[in-house]
Amino acid sequence: DAKTTQPPSMDCAEGRAANLPCNHSTISGNEYVYWYRQIHSQGPQYIIHGLKNNETNEMASLIITEDRKSSTLILPHATLRDTAVYYCIVRVSGGSQGNLIFGKGTKLSVKP
Amino acid sequence: EAGVTQSPTHLIKTRGQQATLRCSPISGHTSVYWYQQALGLGLQFLLWYDEGEERNRGNFPPRFSGRQFPNYSSELNVNALELEDSALYLCASRSFANTGELFFGEGSRLTVL
């Protein structure tokens, strides 16, 4: 699986958009970008994933650059409950694939 | 629909003892993953089971073992406990049919004294 690079921490004001970047310059053509988050002492929560098109769901939007070497997770209106560690992971999709490898992630602090 | 459930929530053991942690995946999910998260550290992959077979294991000693039952639930066993085994143990499940997202339980916190 391709390696990802994320900033260790970010701050965001409550109600503003939180933009979390991720670099994955060695991503392969068949690898997807997945985002998870982990709120303190809880199990990680799946947020969104994509291959090359931008994706949006009820939680967030995922913007992937045209060359697929980087992506940005956007939380459009951050709330205090969005304070968490956010993990960007790239891997091949499909049921026969193995484990997710979690890096250190970005600790997002949403402040009032 | 029930999510991934883990038991016990908390477990306290002493050095040298054995610990057994249990995981029930989401109904219909056949793959179960185990991760270890020591305090302040990231998630370290432990084991992956699918259809009752061990498919992959992380860089952990053999005293970490497990199994998956015919109903796809899973058990993680840690023998000869050491102080550094104190951690949050997370289980996740994934359906073979979906596009790869994992669904995690809330974890079992093991404390070794």
Q: How far is A106 from chain B (nearest CA, A)?
A: 11
Cis amide bond preceding B70, omega within 30: no
Q: Scanning the structure block, which residue is given the tokens 């980087």?
A: A70
Q: Scanning the structure block, which residue is given the tokens 């039952």?
A: B69
Secondary structure (DSSP) of B47-94? EEEETTEEEEE-S--TTEEEEE-TTS-EEEEE-S--GGG-EEEEEEEE
Cis amide bond preceding B62, omega within 30: no
pLDDT of residue B1: 64
B95: contact with A, CB 8 A cutoff: yes
Best A99, A101, A107 member to test B by mutation, with max B CBs in 10 Å, is: A99
pLDDT tens-digit map of B85-100: 999 999 999 876 666 7
pLDDT of residue B111: 97
pLDDT of residue A98: 62
CB B100 to CB A103 under 8 A? no
pLDDT tens-digit map of B53-88: 999 899 999 999 999 999 999 999 999 999 999 999
CB A45 to CB B104 under 8 A? yes
Q: What share of chain A is helix, strand, coil (3-state, %, to 5)?
A: 5, 45, 50
User: For chain A, which residues score pLDDT lower than 70?
Assistant: 1-2, 93-99
HSE-up (13 A, CA, CB side) for residue B81: 21
pLDDT of residue B101: 84
CB B88 to CB A99 under 8 A? no
pLDDT of residue B97: 65
Mean pLDDT computed over every residue of chain B: 93
Distance separating alpha carbons of residues A97 and A90, to the nearest angstrom: 12
pLDDT of residue A91: 82
pLDDT (average), residues B11-17: 98
